[in-house]
Amino acid sequence: MARKPAGPVRHVDLLLRKSQVVRGTAARDILSLKAQEVRGRAWAKRDGYEIRRIFRENLSAYKKGVKRPEFDAAVHALLDGDSDCLWVYDSSRYSRQGAGDVLKILDVPGKRLVFDLDRLDTDIPADRSRIVGKAEDAREYSRVLSEKVRDTKAQQREEGKWLSMAPYGLKVTKKRKLKHGKFWPVIERIHREAAEGKSNWKIALGLNADGFRSTRGGPFRSNTVGKILRNPVYLGWQVVIVKRQSQIYLNAKGKPVRVFAKGVEGIPQEVWDKHRKIAAGIDRRGNLPTVEEQAKPVERSPASGLMWCDGGGRDPKKGHSATIHGGSFRCGPLNLGEKTCPDPVTGMRTSVERVLAKEWHTKLTTASPLDPVMLAVAEGWVALAHPEESKKESEARGQIKLAEEAVAKLDRLNAGGAYTGRDGEETFIKLRRAAVEDVESARKEWEAVAKPMADIAVLRDPERCLKLWETGDAHYRGQLLRLAIDKVFLKKAPYQGARFKADRLDIVWKTPRGWKPPKKAEEKPGAGES
């Protein structure tokens, strides 16, 4: 068994990089990175170093704004003393941003940087100038290469060659032209239905219902459909991205360039023009109601906007609203054909409205006047029944706040030494007295308009409350529900066909502004013992 050399252990880090991105393959499995690693391990063994860590990158080192966390970590480890040496296959694999990335190491004594293929080592004084020169050469090479690539792509774009991944429904030929792909019929369907007057949301809903999926395998959404409908590539033209929008590319002569292969037809221009006019509001959708139908008020549910799916959780950021679909309230994602809700819930609209109205009526007519919910109802009733008075009350409350802030400001100035001396003290007392009088005056004005407005007797009386509900339209009923209700979570039925009961609704009742639940009295040790 070989003995380890005496003395302190020296550690080296290996920095491996491949500039051409290989997608779908782990960095450690990329062939060129494995070859670099074999060479680095051999160097470490030969020079008596123990490998501390291997950093692997599969990205460009020249592109502007690109982040290189592995490179940054390797350099920091060397500068911070975690490693004694940083080994790199060659200078072009280290950095192509110029001399700055090597000078940060050259200027620190005792930090070793090795470029194996170039046979350059910062421990050798004569190599310092060569290392700086190599870094600048790599930077200039990348700059020239970048310009050549940019010029080449510009020329290819002029020739009508497609330079990136094929858009949805299309595929790229060997000559970099576009032709119809497997999902071209979906593209035709989207444009046809849009020209017929269907909204983006309805088109997406139909595609999801028929089992189609978007580019990344997820469900179609209205914005996905919108992007397809606005992309001129489906007419057969070369496009460029301007402010995240696809626009027709014009060559040096100001003419569009065809990107479809010979004999491949795009979406007919008349179909494109039709749905773009509809989107712009120039043409009317074929399925819109007539002028007479538009004049009739649309009947909505009083519970719309209040309902939430209990299966989506109670987190307001992650929860799912329950929206109307046909004659039912259903989990929102379920209506869109998505499967993002772990336990979607459905409830008949008429049953939900009937039970919710009954629970609301019971709460208002039986709760204690001091119940926080009833205090919130009183606040809301002012704005609903007496909007003008409510506005006056709100303005009066605002005046109280301004007057109180003026008193607080005077106190802060006085504490900071703004009113020193005998004259300053007299001035402060005079100003503060006037400010306090303003607070009292504002409070009296508020009490004059606020006191008579909290009368909710009509809501407390069972018969009058029921009559108020029955004589109101859906919109007014929705406002009445919102006096006392913040949210309603729709829960699953215990079994199929079960009658809809109150236990299917978990109602979150409202509380007044600034209200906090009273703290529970802590039990004293030995309480309840005889």
pTM: 0.40
Question: Which secondary structure element, helix H or strand E, spans residue 55, and what is its range?
Answer: strand 50-58
CB atoms within 10 A of CB 183: 17
Adjacency order of strands within the sheet including 307-309: 346-348, 328-331, 320-325, 307-309, 485-490, 505-509
Tokens read off for 94? 């280290």
Residue 527 has pLDDT above 50, yes or no: no
Confidence at residue 385, expressed as pLDDT on a 0 to 100 scale: 64
Q: How confident is the model at residue 238 (pLDDT cuts 50, 70, 90)?
A: confident
Express each pLDDT in 103-129 by its tens digit.
777 767 778 888 888 888 888 888 878
Tracing tokens 């009292």 back to the chain, one arrives at 440
- How large is the angle between the packed helices 474-484 and 462-471, nearest 10 degrees? 140
Q: How confident is the model at residue 449 (pLDDT cuts 50, 70, 90)?
A: low
Q: How far is CA 288 from CA 75, 204, 267, in A?
A: 64, 18, 25
Q: What is the DSSP string of 374-432?
A: HHHHHHHHHHHH-HHHHHHHHHHHHHHHHHHHHHHHHHHHHHTTSS-HHHHHHHHHHHH
Q: What is the DSSP string of 303-369?
A: TTTTEEEGGG-S-TTT-EEEEEETTEEEEHHHHTT----SS--EEEHHHHHHHHHHHHHHHHHHS-T
Q: How confident is the model at residue 4 (pLDDT cuts 50, 70, 90)?
A: very low
In total, the chain counts a number of residues equal to: 530
CB atoms within 10 A of CB 393: 23
Out of 140-154, 333-347, 505-519, least confident range: 140-154
Q: What is the DSSP letter of 235?
A: G
Q: Which residue has the higher pLDDT, 44 or 430?
A: 44
Which structural domains are found in the chain, ordered by start?
Answer: 11-144 (3.40.50.1390), 170-287 (3.90.1750.20), 299-398+442-518 (no CATH)
Q: What is the mean pLDDT of residues 484-504?
A: 90
- How large is the angle between the packed helices 222-230 and 269-280, nearest 10 degrees? 130
Confidence at residue 529, expressed as pLDDT on a 0 to 100 scale: 40
Largest separation between any pair of C-alpha atoms in the chain: 101
Q: From CA 29, how far away is CA 170, in angstroms rounded? A: 31
Confidence at residue 6, expressed as pLDDT on a 0 to 100 scale: 53
Strands (E), 108-188: 112-115, 120-121, 170-172, 178-180
Q: Strand, coil or helix: what is 527?
A: coil
Task: For residue 385, count CB atoms less than 10 angstroms from its CB and return exposed for 0-12, middle for 13-18, buried for 19 or more.
Answer: middle
Q: How confident is the model at residue 192 (pLDDT cuts 50, 70, 90)?
A: very high
Residue 451 has pLDDT above 60, yes or no: no
Q: Look at phi and psi of residue 25 and say left if phi exceeds 0, alpha if psi is from -120 to 50, else beta.
A: beta
Residue 403 has pLDDT above 50, yes or no: yes
Q: What is the mean pLDDT of residues 425-431?
A: 81
The per-residue pLDDT of the chain, averaged, comes to 79
Tracing tokens 């003290």 back to the chain, one arrives at 425
- How large is the angle between the packed helices 349-366 and 462-471, nearest 10 degrees? 150
Q: What is the DSSP string of 449-477?
A: HHGGG---HHHHSHHHHHHHHHHS-HHHH
